[in-house]
Structure formats: C-alpha cells, structure tokens
Amino acid sequence: MATVLFYQKPGCGTNARQIRALAAAGHQVIAKSLLAEPWTAERLLAFFGATPTASWFNPVAPRIKSGEVKPAEIDAAGAIALMLDDPLLIRRPLIEADGTRCAGFDREPVPSLLGGARGDLQGCTRPEAMPRCAES
C-alpha cells in the first residue's frame, strides 16, 4: 500500500471523508493543511500537470463564487500568483502518492489507490442551509 500526502482544508467534512476512504483502502494517509503549507510556484504546478488552468481552481472558493476571480480568464502564471496569495483558491485536495501528484479527488492516482470504487466522495458534506465551513 502507499503513503499518501493529502493536502486538505482543515475542518472540511468532504476532505475527512476522502481521507477515511484512502485509509480504508489500506493506505497510510498523512494529512497536511493546504492553507498552512509554504507553497512555491514550481511545487504547486507539479499537482496540476497538463490540466486546463481553470480546473486548478476550487469552484466554491468565496472569491470565485462572488465573481471576483474568474478562472476562465486567468493564465497559468496569474493563477499560480493568485493561489500563492490565497490558498483557498486551490482545488483540493492536493494528493501525492508514489511520485504521482494531482489536484482533486477524481484524478489519478486516486482511482488507482481506491481500486476504482470511489462512490460520492467529492461533494460538500454540508447542506446549503447550514453555515459554511470556516475560511481560516
């Protein structure tokens, strides 16, 4: 089994559910705060690979939902600069396992780590009527 570095937003119920799924599949999960990690442009880019720049963003980040940040209008350098300044903009979780990295729970290496069975492990666990997770 693999050792999985899992960069999460602390307190996020969805990330907690994802960590439990990886652990249940037999992996050792090392959870780290996406918000407290000392990111560099080069290190952050390694998680995005050849995916489109707009997919690097967390679509439910407050600045995106408000329309202040428009991922479709931002180039790679601009995206990285914004994310280094405001890590809430980064699509999560960021995952590293066996030398492979990804942003999001729907990309490799995640399906392989889970044996292809993921269930619904991406949607927010908090109903809209509930208060939003703290943005710390």
Please give the positions annotated as active site: 12
CB-based contacts of 125-133 (< 8 A; 24+ apart in sequence): 125/13, 125/14, 125/17, 126/13, 133/9, 133/11, 133/12, 133/13
Sheet containing strand 3-8, edge to edge, reads 28-33, 3-8, 94-97, 100-103
Q: Cis omega (within 30 of 0) on the bond before 38?
A: no
* 58/105 Cα distance (integer angstroms): 12
